[in-house]
Structure 1
Amino acid sequence: MRQLKRGLVVGKFAPLHLGHEALIEFALQHCEQVLVLSYTSQNFLSCTPAQRRAWFAARYGTEVRIRSCVLDASELSSWPDFPLDLPDDGAPAEVQREFCWQVLRRLGFMPDGVFSSEDYGAGFAAYLSHAAAQPVVHCPFDLERQQHSVSATQIRRGLLPAAVWLSPAVAASYQVLGKIALLGAESTGKTTLSRILAEHLGMPCVAEYGRQRWEERQGQLAFSDLLQIARTQIAHEEAALAQAREGIICDTTPLTTLFYSQALFGHADPALSALAERPYQHLFLLSPDFPLVQDGTRQDEAFRQAQHRWYLAELAQRQLSYQLISGPLEQRIQTILQAVGISPESIK
């Protein structure tokens, strides 16, 4: 490939991972200057514009040949007479291309080459060639993802380990949300809290399937139901996670199903015991520190306290990392938000 004067790399970079860094390094090898343009219409709680700017500064702040530009609606509003709004991520390619062209004009940066690891690059380069009335070539890099089999979406969902795919400078300030799970004895506000958190964070809430199955069975669960409940709960989590932007709120885990199997039948299917080992990025145990509210399905206070002690013992025995949550509802909400690294300002 011939050497170019100016190269362009465009993406969300949410988060900036090692695959992105390899692409930027590839562009640097073939260009005198490189512009990295980052924008998205999505409000990523763990990849805010400020965080992305900090990541670029940490990784490339001393590289004089790299210029980074992170755009959001607030930044665009400071550009007098800029003709376009930030496009939706799902907008057609023509809309995205025209937006980038107008940004390049405003920045006074006209690339000779577009560097990408995705198929959109060829059409994007052709559009810029026509708009600028000068040649702009597409410079593909690792289109088959053979060198860096990584996806920012998979990292955000907790399906790929951030510690492996993020540089230390990025990982230091990146918080994976992934699966946020609540555990708690009966009448500890678990369902109410999970719904509020899901609303606050804009995440799917995976309801407790066990209650649905209990109602379908009119309160008469069979031993075989417990394994089905755990498997269905996990299937619902996986379906929600596949559509999630950054993570999901889980209104229980298979560990709860294991408890009820032992409480109701004195033992558990080995397959259920194995499912109870399912990992979660964030695990919270709610304290039974306010009066039990009887809804006609719950057992008494002694049972609630015994269930809480069982959770404490099981979590310790399994060496699972968790945080005990107590206090009134608003305190619980703020404690959990702080624990997952979300500031109140970022969700307003």
Structure 2
Amino acid sequence: MIVALLGAESTGKTDLALGLADRARALGLRAHAVQEYLREFCDRQGRTPRPEEQGHIAEEQTRRILAAATAHELVFADTTAVMTAVYSDLLFDDPTLYDSAFEAHRRCSLTLVTGLDLPWTPDGIQRDGPHVRTPVDERLRQRLQAAGVAYSVIYGRDAQRLEAAWRVVETALRAKGRLTAPASDAAPRLRPWCRECLVPECEHLLLRRLTDQP
């Protein structure tokens, strides 16, 4: 089972991947977090990828995810090729990576999109800046919807964010019969804002409350 963590930069994908893998291992599952290859590429090269290198970034991310899936029953992917395709589209006006990216993404059992309620922080040369987060989030959602990929949006700070993500993962695991242990009541519970939490207008209201926007 592969869980994809997608979202704009500085929205907590790496921390969630590591935290979710730790939570799953604590329950006896063979879980692994696949790190973002782009970060490794930028650190090694001392620069961000050129347009013609985007395909390599996407392919290597997919390769590492599938390799991890052969050795673990639960894989948390800190981004997939879909994010590379989104950035290639926005930064280089090149939409050609979407087809292969979504073909690979169909291997994922669950897709989580990290919300924009966390503050942007600098973290390596692969970061483009806070001004790109909203366009990336919008383009990502458009492409997921066009491809028919269902997703859950994750909000919250620190432990709440991890708990929100884990509740989605836990529900999927139980539905697939991968998890039979009783649910823990020790973790903090998030207040449900309303029954229609997937309606865009409602999500915007939630985001304003979480970020204290007027």
Q: Residue 220 and residue 181 in structure 1: after superposition, are their counterparts in 2 closer, same or farther (change >3 A)?
A: closer
Partners in 1 of 2:48 and 2:122 — Cα distance? 19
What is the Cα-based RMSD across aligned positions, in Å? 2.0
2:81 counterpart residue number? 254
Partner of 1:209: 37
User: Residue 267 of structure 1 corresponds to which residue in structure 2?
Assistant: 94
How has the CA–CA distance of structure 1 residues 286 and 259 changed in structure 2, closer, same or farther, with 3 Å as cutoff? same
Flag the 1:282–1:220 CA change in 2: closer, same or farther, 3 A. Answer: closer
Q: How far 1:227 sits from its partner (Å)?
A: 0.8
Q: Residue 288 of structure 1 corresponds to which residue in structure 2?
A: 116
The question of whether the paired residues in 2 share the 8 Å contact of 1:193 and 1:329 is answered with no
Distance in 2, matches of 1:299 and 1:210, equals 13
- Which of the two has higher C-alpha Rg? 1
> Are 2:154 and 2:161, in contact at CA under 8 Å, matched by a contact in 1?
yes
Q: How many residues align?
A: 167
Structure 1 CA distance for aligned equivalents of residues 135 and 116 of structure 2: 10
Task: Summarize the alignment of residues 1-348 of structure 1 with structure 2, pairs less than 5 Å apart.
Answer: 178-202=1-25, 203-244=31-72, 246-268=73-95, 270=96, 272-277=97-102, 278-279=105-106, 280-297=108-125, 298-340=127-169, 341=171, 344-345=183-184
- 1:209-261 CA distance string (max 9 Å, x none): 112112222224122311111111111111111111x2101000111010121
What TM-score comes out, normalization by structure 1 length? 0.45
Q: Report which structure shows greater RCO (CA 8 Å, sep ≥6).
A: 2
Task: Find the aligned partners of 2:74 and 2:145 in 1 and give their Cα distance.
Answer: 25
Please give the alpha-carbon distance, in whole angstroms, between the structure 1 residues aligned to 2:86 and 2:148. Answer: 17
Higher helix share: 2
2:75 counterpart letter in structure 1: I
1:293 Cα deviation from its structure 2 partner: 1.0
Q: Distance in 1 between matches of 2:66 and 2:144?
A: 23
Tell me how far apart the structure 1 counterparts of residues 94 and 15 of structure 2 sit (CA, whole Å). Answer: 30
Offset, 1:281: 0.5
Which has the larger strand fraction? 1
- Aligned-pair identity (%): 28
Equivalent-residue separation in structure 2 for 1:260 and 1:290 (angstroms): 20
Q: Taking structure 1 as reference, are residues 236 and 296 closer, same or farther at Cα in structure 2, changes over 3 Å only?
A: closer
Structure 1 residue ranges without an equivalent (≥5): 1-177
In structure 1, C-alpha distance between the alignment counterparts of 2:166 and 2:123, rounded to whole Å: 29
Contact 2:90 2:136 in 1 (8 A): no
Q: Please list every run of 5 or more consecutive structure 2 residues that lacks an aligned counterpart in the other structure.
A: 26-30, 174-181, 188-214
Amino acid of the structure 2 residue aligned with 1:286: T
Query: Which residue number corresponds to residue 174 of structure 1?
Result: none
Distance in 2 (CA, whole Å) between partners of 1:305 and 1:274 is 23
Amino acid at match of 1:223: P
Q: Where has structure 1 moved over 4 Å in runs of 4 or more?
A: none
